[in-house]
Amino acid sequence: MTLKDKLFLFLGLMLSVPFLKVTGQTQADRPCDEKATRETVNLYRNLKKLSGSGRYLIGHQDALAYGVQWKYEKGRSDVKDVTGDYPAVYGWELGHLEQGSARNLDGVAFDKMREFIRQGYKQGGVITLSWHGINPKNGKSAWDVEPGTVASILPGAPYHDVYRKQLDRVATFLLSLKGDKGEYIPVLFRPFHELTGGWFWWGAKTTTPEEYKTLFRFTVDYLQRIKGIHHLLYVYNTSGGLQSDEAFLERYPGDDVVDILSFDTYQFKNPQADFATSLKGDLALVEQLAQRKNKVAAVAEMGFSQIPEANWWTGTVAPSLKGRNFAYVLFWRNAGVKPDNEMEYFVPYKGQVSEKDFVRYYRLPETLFQKEARALKLYK
């Protein structure tokens, strides 16, 4: 390095210091997609800022489509029935889109889903998509764990083209999500979720870490480079009960293809004292890794089906998350009675035993629902 080069380097550093101080951001406060749209860049920055404030957005899966004992009632949501406000994060599910179905695996029509997504976005909310896609190798469900499935769909493998066609359909839907000005609606995309579990075809029992990483990276590259999609934030998602940093990161596909680190967790028994302990452990671990990587942390799915514990919200959920740096927590769907006769709902409806406590939870300063989320102008 010549003396002149050194001088320029020194001047460059001096000039960048005040800039970094003023904005409080570094380049790393940007999404991993270098071509991310303006709204997507802004959303990422705002989620990051929010998660550092100790407050977090509350989400609900399928919130606008149905609830316990109702479906497709304009403007309705079980969260709104109980609190008077909508959730701030809207989760939707893509499963069966990849096979060209008009409805997803839970019976929600994709044409309606698109409208609900537009509605949530217009209300200032955040959209996240999960994908219980069918097994590309044998056409069975996401829960079909035929060994070697992922290996058989990677580039060069026999079922690769089947997987590409699936992705083409997903891409077409993603490219149809636009706001009023024609801008793409940013989406937190969460493919191949609960990857540490053994219940999906991409799960840890039948997939090697290298295969998982290759599939994730191929998918991101295909969507970005071949399909020109730049309105996604990518969510890496394990199941809960995490044992160590290594266990969480074993299948992590890389900082250049992930924006949000997350896990899913459910309480199954009542009472279950170890749920809060396990939740707190997972929160601490994921928060610390997200901070180290300068990424956003989230709880991508949480719940206690049928919420039999009247004070679960302020007794278990709120204290576990208190003071943590998470951008959002999403509660799973209010399916009501399912086709298999199982009853499933994860937020209260009017008259449910935890209804009053959910209102207390709503009123806590750290929980943000639609009205507060809107005021944050997450896309600006």
Question: Concatenated DSSP letters for 85-109?
Answer: S--SEEEEE-TTGGGT-SB-TTS-B
Interacting residue with ligand BMA among 118, 132, 227, 293 (CB under 6 A): 132
In the complex, the smallest distance separating the C-beta of residue 104 from ligand BMA, rounded to whole angstroms, is: 7
Instruction: Give the DSSP per-residue string, 236-263.
Output: EEEES----HHHHHTT---GGG-SEEEE
Cβ neighbours around 3 below 10 Å, total: 7
Comparison of 106 and 309: residue with beta carbon closer to ligand BMA: 106
Is the Cβ of residue 19 or residue 143 nearer to ligand BMA in the bound state?
143
Per-residue tokens: 361: 């939870």
Site string for ligand BMA, 312-351 (x = CB under 6 A): ---------------------x-x--x-----x-------
Q: Which of 39, 93, 98, 194 is catalytic?
A: 194
Contact (CB, 8 A) for 309 and 315: yes
Tell how strand 367-368 and strand 56-61 pair up. parallel
CB of 19 to ligand BMA, least distance (A): 45
Q: Omega into 271 within 30° of 0, i.e. cis?
A: yes
Residue 178 engages ligand BMA in binding (rule: CB under 6 A): no
Nearer to ligand BMA by C-beta: 122 or 338? 338
Q: How far apart are CA 227 and CA 182, in angstroms?
A: 18
In sequence order, which residues have a C-beta less than 8 Å from that of residue 342 and are 6 or more positions away? none
Q: Please tell me whether residue 282 adopts helix, strand or coil conformation.
A: helix
- Rounded to the nearest angstrom, the gap between the alpha carbon of residue 377 and the centroid of all alpha carbons in its chain is 19
CB of 110 to ligand BMA, least distance (A): 14
CB of 106 to ligand BMA, least distance (A): 5
- Of 158, 249, 244, give the one whose Cα is nearest residue 204: 249
Q: Judged by CB under 6 A, does residue 78 bind ligand BMA?
A: no
To the query of whether residue 183 is one of the catalytic residues in this protein, the response is no
The reply to whether 106 sits near ligand BMA by the rule CB under 6 A is yes
Does 194 help bind ligand BMA (rule: CB under 6 A)? Answer: no
- Taking the complex as a whole, the smallest distance from the CB of residue 142 to ligand BMA amounts, in Å, to 8
Decide whether 106 or 372 has the Cβ nearer to ligand BMA.
106
Member of 30, 105, 173, 278 binding ligand BMA (CB under 6 A)? 105
Examine residue 93 and tell whether it contacts ligand BMA (CB under 6 A): yes
With CB atoms as reference, the residue minimizing the distance to ligand BMA is 93
Burial, 66: exposed, middle or buried (Cβ in 10 Å; 0-12, 13-18, 19+)? Answer: buried
Per the residue annotation, which of 39, 211, 301, 355 is the catalytic one? Answer: 301
Taking phi over 0 as left and psi of -120 to 50 as alpha, with beta for the rest, 100 belongs to: left
Nearer to ligand BMA, 37 or 104 (CB): 104
- Which of 94/223 has CB closer to ligand BMA? 94
Q: Which amino acid is at 269?
A: K
Q: How far is the CB of 167 from ligand BMA (least distance, A)?
A: 19
Six-digit token string for 197: 């579990």
- Whether 194 is catalytic is yes
Q: Give me the least distance between CB of 302 and ligand BMA, in Å please.
A: 12
The residues of the shown chain that bind ligand BMA, judged by CB under 6 A, are 93, 95, 105-106, 132, 333, 335, 338, 344
Name the residues annotated as catalytic. Answer: 194, 301
